[in-house]
Amino acid sequence: MSTPEFFVTPGYGDYMREHLHYSQAVKVGNRVETSGQGGWDDEFQIPTDLAEEIAQAFHNLERTLATAGARWEHVIHVNSYHVGGFPPEVNEAMVKHYRQYMPHHAPIWTQVGVESLGLPTMRVEIRVTAIIP
């Protein structure tokens, strides 16, 4: 079995590692797992617009995948967690970014409604699994 390698996304990931003692991604062999990525910037500001928050979460995932040597083309599974239910704009934004970031494949997806997330203003958190060929 391969030894796990842990990765920290520069910026917000450094803060999380220092203050909350967790990493943003782990790589075991050719498999990469990310922790949940919210729609925050490096100062943990979250957009008031839900579609912008979802877009930022996808951007943060791209940054986090890159730290472990992976890209969106390697993503096979997505888990998304949503506060406030599933108004049409949630799926519209999610699907828009799936098509943008993964135009040549459709990963499997588990979507879960939750009461709250790690920051009081968060409405979405996304984590992924990637396999690097």
Query: Tens digits of per-residue pLDDT, 26-72?
Result: 999 999 999 999 999 999 999 999 999 999 999 999 999 999 999 99
Sequence-ordered alpha helix ranges (H) in the chain: 12-20, 50-67, 88-101
Instruction: Give the angle subtended at the CA of 117 by the CAs of 33 and 80, to the nearest 5°.
Output: 45
Residue-level pLDDT at 2 = 86
What's the whole-number average pLDDT of the chain?
A: 96
- Could you give phi then psi for residue 98, rounded to 5 degrees? -60, -50
Give the residue-averaged pLDDT of 114-132.
97
pLDDT band at residue 129 using 50, 70 and 90 as cut-offs:
very high
pLDDT band at residue 19 using 50, 70 and 90 as cut-offs:
very high
Structure tokens at 127: 């984590």
Residue 13 has pLDDT above 80, yes or no: yes
Residue 1 has pLDDT above 80, yes or no: no
Structure tokens at 18: 């220092």
Range 27-31, long-range pairs (CB < 8 A, 24+ positions): 27/68, 27/69, 27/70, 28/1, 28/2, 28/3, 28/4, 29/1, 29/2, 30/131, 30/132, 30/133, 31/129, 31/130, 31/131, 31/132
- Could you give phi then psi for residue 45, rounded to 5 degrees? -85, 135
Give the residue-averaged pLDDT of 9-25.
95
Residue-level pLDDT at 5 = 97
| pTM for the model | 0.95
Distance of CA 81 to the CA centre of its chain: 10
